[in-house]
Amino acid sequence: MPLIQAAVAGRRPDRPVPPMAGTAAIGAVVHLLATAIEEGRDPSSTSGVLAGTAYCLLPA
């Protein structure tokens, strides 16, 4: 099962996603990419971290 489908399947209806969750997720991605660039790393090196972050935030 792909990562997004697993996250959606694991969502709990008794815990709705807060309206700011999308903003937080995008902010996290931008911050992680900016940090990688500032540290001189290839932004693609953050792909595993970004996937993990999205997985944690989506089922909120």
**Any domain includes 15:** no
Categorize the per-residue pLDDT at 19 as very low, low, confident or very high, splitting at 50, 70 and 90: confident
Q: Which domain holds residue 52?
A: 3-10+20-57
Residue 1: predicted pLDDT? 46
* C-alpha span between 9 and 11 (Å, rounded): 6
**Any domain includes 47:** yes
**Any domain includes 41:** yes
The domain total for the chain is 1
C-alpha distance from residue 26 to each of 13, 14, 53 (Å): 23, 24, 10
**Any domain includes 44:** yes
* C-alpha span between 5 and 1 (Å, rounded): 6
**Any domain includes 46:** yes
The pLDDT tens digits of the residues spanning 21-53 come to: 778 778 878 888 888 889 998 877 777 776 676
* C-alpha span between 47 and 24 (Å, rounded): 18
